[in-house]
Structure 1
Amino acid sequence: MRRSGSDQDRPPQGPSQGPARAAVTAPWASADTQAPAHVVLAFDDNRLASQLFGHYGRNLALVERKLGVKADSRGNHVTLEGEREACEQARAVLEHLYEALKKGRDISQGDVDGAIREAVSQGSLFDFDPASQRQSFDEIHLRRRPVRARTAAQDAYIRALKRHTLVFGTGPAGTGKTWIAVAYAVHLLERRMVDRLILSRPAVEAGERLGFLPGDMKDKVDPYLRPIYDALYDLMDRAFVERALQSGEIEIAPLAFMRGRTLSNAAVILDEAQNATSMQMKMFLTRLGENSHMIITGDPSQTDLPGGQVSGLAEAVRLLDGVEGVGVCHFKAEDVVRHELVQRIVSAYERLDAQKIEAAAARLGKPGS
């Protein structure tokens, strides 16, 4: 990738940041990050540049909307205009994604959004402090492809998985809790750090009565475990997954089947744990055996347990937060990495829940209530 511009438009050159530099026109003597800037980037490969910009420029449009810059493309060039810090963040995003394309990776709008979140979390590149800020989000290396954190919460989640034996990931749908948990379990299996994967969910219907399901036990529980299958097939070769399921190297089972077992040399995931009762959660946690890793994910706000039953997930997080060897990661609405509308929907429901709590507190505090 080339960055064009006259020498007088360039900032003073410090230590090398790589083979390419951008042409930036801005009042460099000023420390004002809101000063206007003009950045021109030229990418060497026209085909990769077209993929970078996206179909009808949708990736550039996302960068414009999220960072508040103006991005105009012409051929393999893109011109960025806006506040200095925003332009530097946009430059970092485009350069990072272009390097990923050069390595043969495909990029989606989710990758673009993740790169934008990463650039924003790092702050201005002009005052980057290696001692206090991390150069990039963490990632999990798999044979098929790397799985990289897209938000600061996902970054903390991956680091917790690497440090702790037992990790809880709680928060709204669409934040990548299950996806990253399965990716890390696959990582452990591929490197033979464990001998098997055990993936489980409570077989609880989501507010509906489905009635009798035909087939054997596998046929009956498969609908509840479909999201885990989807993650496995996306992260591993389908033929390997099928062989591993047949051999027992990968086991998918409902939570009720875990009683009485000791899960040694295994990566164990309990998904949708908000639907586990207090007794089920205690049973599951005490299955942990030698050289095993356990990951428990769920959204406490979406429990499908009958009214009055306490969610085992919320109770376990409250009891075990701070215990040595246990990591707890909380995701919020702003960490949603699905469609932007999902993030707004989750935020709306969170506001409704907050209003209900405030109303309940007001009723309890009213004399004679």
Structure 2
Amino acid sequence: MTIEFDNNRLLPELYGEHGKNLVRIEQALGVSIANRGNQVFVSGEQAARARAELVLNTLYHQLERGGQIGGGDVDGALRLSLGGSAMADKPVDQPRRLEKLDALRTNRREVLPRSTTQAAYIKALLTSELVVGVGPAGTGKTYLAVAAAAAMLVEGQVDRIILSRPAVEAGERLGFLPGDMRDKVDPYLRPLYDALYDMLPGPQVARSLESGEIEIAPLAFMRGRTLSNAFVILDESQNATPMQMKMFLTRMGENSRMVITGDPSQIDLPFGAKSGLKDALEILPKIRGVDIVRFGEEDVVRHDLVTRIVKAYNRRDAKLPERGADKAATDTKSDVSRNPSTDDGSRVEQNNEQK
């Protein structure tokens, strides 16, 4: 198979330093790739060649749109072409046209999905009023939620972004911490800010924080508010209590979007306390209009070592005995975390309860 590209200036980044991107595709798909000028020659089984062509064209189109390519982008295109893991044993029967997938466009970058679950998550973020993203660390739950918020703010679909996170480490007693409200909660919201600065220019973020267009809202201090024309994100929701979760969910006003993200395997609540996320996962599936997206360990898009670490913890947690009083704590902390590892990682629970 011969693939020809029009713009030679994009090819060095497409191929990667010393052809490392091509090597990665070879290893993942079991093909041989050679390049000469603006032509790439792919040999191997027909299905593998087709997927290699799909991955290369997807990355090339990303460069044509002004994007950049890193190792994560290559793995993402591979993961999508294989219908799951970047090193899947059995690829899906029909490759998708990856360039047709939904993307999140902000002032600084275009964010594309790096797994089939991320693709479903982005679609839910763009179409649903309430989305719950559940799964292990490193799957892009928070990053994509912030990207969607920034994209909708830029497009004028919402007037402001509200970021919230339980400050469990401070026991929610924020009044005893030094400084103003932002000083008190900034350490707990730092991952959200990091994603925000990735999506929008620094000066714009600073101005928006000053004007209130982007707002920090400690979960404990949101009672009594109605959040209209806003994109609201509750991160680390596994550390909210059921009462706090109910309070948060009932803050939604007109023309607002809400996203809840969490990892039930990382609960920091006091011993015996039930997680608001686990409670919500028992209730929300019964409600029409709520999308629940479950990520699995195969969706981890950080370093490969992170994927192996998550798998090791899941295997260990699956073997832990449940004894006496420890049972409730084990249920709370690891029940849902085991489910994603056995889930196919690409299912969105679309709730369609009839009125």
Question: Is TM (by shorter chain) over 0.5?
Answer: yes
Secondary structure of the corresponding residue to residue 156 of structure 2: coil
Secondary structure of the corresponding residue to residue 167 of structure 1: strand
Of structures 1 and 2, the larger Rg is shown by 1
- Counterparts of 1:125-204 in structure 2, within 5 Å, are 136-204=100-168
**Aligned equivalent of 1:97:** 59
CA distance in 1: counterparts of 2:38 and 2:313, whole angstroms: 43
**Aligned equivalent of 1:233:** 197
**Aligned equivalent of 1:47:** 9
Letter in 1 for 2:303: H
**Aligned equivalent of 2:21:** 59
- Counterparts of 1:1-369 in structure 2, within 5 Å, are 39-121=1-83, 136-205=100-169, 214-356=178-320, 359-360=321-322
Letter in 2 for 1:233: Y
* Cα offsets for 1:29-60 (capped at 9, x unmatched): xxxxxxxxxx2334344432111111122211
CA distance in 2: counterparts of 1:263 and 1:100, whole angstroms: 36
CA distance in 2: counterparts of 1:125 and 1:305, whole angstroms: 40
User: 1:88 Cα shift?
Assistant: 1.1
CA distance in 2: counterparts of 1:107 and 1:127, whole angstroms: 25
Letter in 2 for 1:282: K
Let me know the Cα RMSD of the aligned residues: 2.6
Letter in 2 for 1:277: T
**Aligned equivalent of 2:343:** none
CA distance in 2: counterparts of 1:339 and 1:302, whole angstroms: 19
Letter in 2 for 1:263: L
User: 1:75 Cα shift?
Assistant: 4.5
Contact 1:153/1:335 (8 A) holds in 2:
yes
Percent of residue pairs identical:
57
CA distance in 1: counterparts of 2:8 and 2:155, whole angstroms: 38
Query: Where do 5+ consecutive residues of structure 2 fail to align?
Result: 85-89, 327-355
CA distance in 2: counterparts of 1:258 and 1:301, whole angstroms: 25
Letter in 2 for 1:186: A
Secondary structure of the corresponding residue to residue 301 of structure 1: coil
Shift in alpha-carbon separation, 1:222–1:78, aligned structure 2, 3 A: same
User: 1:190 Cα shift?
Assistant: 1.7
User: 1:180 Cα shift?
Assistant: 1.0
User: 1:296 Cα shift?
Assistant: 0.4
Q: TM-score, normalised by structure 1?
A: 0.79
**Aligned equivalent of 1:36:** none
CA distance in 2: counterparts of 1:360 and 1:232, whole angstroms: 40
CA distance in 2: counterparts of 1:228 and 1:343, whole angstroms: 22
* Cα offsets for 1:211-261 (capped at 9, x unmatched): x85433322211111111111111011111111100001101221111121
Shift in alpha-carbon separation, 1:58–1:323, aligned structure 2, 3 A: same
User: 1:145 Cα shift?
Assistant: 2.6
Q: How many residues align?
A: 316
Contact 1:89/1:124 (8 A) holds in 2:
no
**Aligned equivalent of 2:337:** none
Contact 1:137/1:150 (8 A) holds in 2:
no
Letter in 2 for 1:290: E
CA distance in 1: counterparts of 2:68 and 2:99, whole angstroms: 22
User: 1:161 Cα shift?
Assistant: 1.9
Secondary structure of the corresponding residue to residue 321 of structure 1: helix
Shift in alpha-carbon separation, 1:202–1:216, aligned structure 2, 3 A: same
